[in-house]
Structure 1
């Protein structure tokens, strides 16, 4: 009798392996999913990525708070849960958007994605400029300090 209880207590899903899509699990309710996502962001993302991710996450959950269509709710929760599973798997860093998904997006969504890409590229250029500026100003400071000491 005890062995049968132990079998009932064993997990029914296979463990997640990086590189494979995790099996679909029962959908988490919105609040636990939201908390899980914030926790994952805290563990897996850098400071700048985390600020952006948390802000976007909060805005999306607020924007969808009053949705009543069950299909929209299930789709919303499913996508966010898959996002959480991807972040936990660590194979998301070099992934690209699948063409099928891009084809399903509306013109507005593609436009938003393009704006996001431009903002990320601009931020990358700005940080490189700041880094170069810091290096140049440091070299100038070093050179002027050498002149003063001579």
Structure 2
């Protein structure tokens, strides 16, 4: 993401597009996302904070402009949803899911499994993780 400042100076979104917004640079966006996470319940916040940190670390040296813009755009949209408390009950758009790699789909599946397990542990007195 080192090339981000150069991209910020040369890249603009079309004024009529649905995603017309100024992209935050990586570090301010990282801070904003972590601040937004403070609104979430304890377990979700811990899981989210670790995931955010690992994702930003993993993308630190990305140089492909399309990947950088996509990464920052999605995290900025995420921050807006969490800040506006619009994340509950939302789902991934079909075209976004179709563009995901197999690894991303697997990560999403693992996250879904962990959430369902946690909900079962909290809501079903007869549930035992050993079964």
TM range (shorter): 0.7 to 0.9
Aligned mate of 1:84, from 79, 82, 85: 79
Aligned mate of 1:31, from 2, 17, 27 = 27
Normalising to structure 1: TM-score of the pair?
A: 0.66
**Deviation of the 1:23 alpha carbon:** 5.6
1:1-150 matches, cutoff 5 A: 24-42=20-38, 44-128=39-123, 132=125
Q: Provide structure 2 residue ranges, at least 5 long, that are not aligned to the other structure.
A: 1-17, 127-131
Report the aligned-residue RMSD: 1.8
Deviation at 1:125, TM superposition (A): 1.7
Partner of 1:143: none
Distance 1:39 1:102, change over 3 A: same
SS at match of 1:40: helix
In structure 1, runs of 5+ residues without a counterpart are 1-21, 134-150
Identify the structure with the greater helix proportion. Answer: 1
Instruction: Determine which structure has more spread, i.e. the larger CA radius of gyration.
Output: 1
1:37 and 1:109 mapped to 2: Cα distance? 20
Q: What TM-score does the superposition give when structure 2 sets the normalisation length?
A: 0.74
Aligned length: 109
